[in-house]
Structures are given as structure tokens and as C-alpha cells.
Amino acid sequence: MKPYVFLTIRTILLTLLLPSAAAQSQATRSEQSAASGSGDSYPTKPVRVIVGLAPGGGADMVARTVAQKLSQSLGQSFVVENRPGAGGSIAPAYVANSSPDGYTLLLVVSGFSAYPALYSNLPYDPIKSFAPITLVSYAPFMLVVHPSLPVKSVRELIALAKTKPGALDVGSSGTGGSGHLAGELFQNMAGIKLTHIPYKSSGQSLVDLVAGNVDLVFSSILSSLNLVKSGRLRAVGVTSAKRSPIMSDTPTISESGVPGYEATNWYGVVAPAGTPSATLGKLNAEIVNLVKIPDVASRLAAEGGEPVGSTPEQFTRQLIAEIVRNRKMIKELGIHLD
């Protein structure tokens, strides 16, 4: 065969094959982009927002508020899925093992930074296994007691507890949860002994408190505000450094006999490690913008919350700092869960 004949056949084959190869390459890139959830196309299907606590509490409210607004702004459903258990530590393990494509997110609370000190064999690393997106808001707890308890202030509560060590029961959403740790810190700083009664959710602890089966609970303001207003519970203090605007008549625990006490809860959003940076950036921009919307800010304020909206880097630094702080505090308190 003459050389020019070979070249002619080769040219014909290339002419026929190249468009197909180019189309296949483009299809592969499109599939990879869709699979990763990156770029302007994200999201192309519903997104799950996992919450490690039962419905009805502050974490659930924040997650549903964020999910609703993201659904509106991004044109796909953001669906809240509650996976409670072990004080909220089960959900992070589930999300850490999910595909890093932006379609499974985790609403984390302040207890997330305490889990490494509470559990010796966590199936994930709180920093390496996740990609922080943003800190959404801060919110204090409110210390509420049953009306039959003969106390109207934190000082009176401390005085009563000192006369009856271990006789008063403090309920919480679960061992190792944020409310539990707020109570442990209170006991340590006030020099008193309470008996901890863990529940599967903050809602259950409040039901038992209203029924008189426990004496006090460190609850989110959102969960207990109406119960206080109706007289079914009595508020004696808030856990923030300053008084809550929504409960301005209720003093802080710090100003009521426990100087320096502070146990502020916070809420943030993370994704599995390896989630595309474009997806993380898009979610960060959307959430930071939505917490500034007046109706969102008012919902957060209903819990005594303060909107934040941080960068992923700022949130990462906070997580690292809080993990270190909680390790020190929990070691000093002598709390062990396994």
C-alpha cells in the first residue's frame, strides 16, 4: 500500500472518530460535574440536612429555617432528617461516611466539639472527616425549674441544692449533649451536686419537667419560652454572658451567684470531607446571606439567638479552639461516657 493511501485512510478514520471521542469526553466531564455537585449546576437533586437531635428543639428549628430558605434560593428541596441518639453523636458518623457530593449536610451544635473528649472511640475525626461551611448562630440556654420548687432565683436554687446534695434532678436531651454539659459546668462552678436524668430529646425532658418528674432543665429558649409565659415553668437564669433580649427580665447565671459562668450553644453546617470547594463556597454564600434576611433573623431571635454567618476558615478555627477547651473542661469535670 502506498504511503498516501495509508494517510488518507487514517485521515478518514480520525475524521469519523474525533467528534465521537470529543462528545464522549464532554459527557464524561458533565457526568463528573453532576456527580460531584460542583459548579453552577449544584444542586441538581434534593439535599438532606441531617440533625442529630429529635424534632422540636433549637437545632431542629435552625435546620428547618436554613433548609426552607435554601430550597427557595437554590431551586431544589433541602430536606431535614432527624437522626437522634447518644447526645447527638450518631449523626456525625453517618454524615462522615456519606458521599462527599454536597447532597448530605450536617447541622452541628456546640456538643459536636465535646464528643472527642467524651467518647474515646469516635468513628470519625471532628476536623478531618468534615468540611465546615459556616457558623449559623449563637444561642444561650435558659435554666428553668418546676413551679413547685421553692426557688425564684439561681442563688435560691444553689442554697437549696447545698442543703440536699443529689436530691434535685436535672434533665437533659441526653448524656454528652450541650444541655448536659451546661448543667455539669453549673454544678462544678456553684459547688453543688445534682442528679442527671438523660432523655432522648430536649422535648421529652421538658415534658417530664412540666409533669414534676424532674426539678430543672437547661433548655433552649425556643423550647421553653411559651411554657414560662404560661406559668407551667419558671425561668431563673440564662447561660449567656449578657442577658437575652427576648428574656431581658431574667438575669444571667453569672450575675446571680456564679461569676464567670457561660455556656452558650451554637449551630453550624458542615459537609463530608472531600466535598467540592465550589459546592462549599456556594452553600457558604447562600447561608451567610440568608441569616441576614429579617424573617430568618427574627426566627433565630425567638430562641434568643444571634445570627453569625462565618467563613469556612473562621468556623474551622472555632471548632479547633472549642475542642481544645472542651477537652480541658471535661477532664476537669471528670465526665466519662465510655
**Structure confidence by residue, pLDDT tens digits, 130-176:** 999 999 999 899 999 999 999 999 999 999 999 999 999 999 988 88
Q: At the fourth CATH level, which superfamily is domain 141-256?
A: Periplasmic binding protein-like II (3.40.190.10)
Instruction: Specify the pLDDT at position 20.
Output: 42
Cell (9 digits) for 154: 439561681
- Gyration radius (Cα) of the chain, Å: 25
pLDDT surpassing 60 at residue 23: no
C-alpha 320/C-alpha 127 separation (Å) is 7
Q: Cβ of 228: how many Cβ atoms within 10 Å? A: 17
Cell (9 digits) for 121: 472511640
User: In the sheet where 306-307 sits, what is the strand order?
Assistant: 78-82, 47-51, 104-109, 265-272, 130-139, 306-307
Query: Residues spanned by CATH 3.40.190.10 within the chain?
Result: 141-256
Region 39-65 average pLDDT: 90
Assigned CATH class of 47-139+265-333: alpha beta
Cell (9 digits) for 36: 460531584
C-alpha 76/C-alpha 61 separation (Å) is 20
Residue 244: name the closest of 179, 309, 301 by CA: 301
Query: Residues spanned by CATH 3.40.190.150 within the chain?
Result: 47-139+265-333
Contact between residue 41 and residue 34 where contact means Cβ atoms under 8 Å apart: yes
Query: Nearest 5 degrees, angle CA 277-CA 307-CA 69?
Result: 60
Cell (9 digits) for 152: 425564684
- Whole-prediction pTM value? 0.80
Q: How many angstroms separate the Cα of 316 from the Cα of each of 91, 98, 310, 323?
A: 19, 20, 10, 11
Q: Is the peptide bond before 43 cis (omega within 30 degrees of 0)?
A: yes
pLDDT in tens, 254-292: 999 999 999 988 999 999 999 999 999 999 999 999 999
Mean pLDDT over all residues of the chain?
87
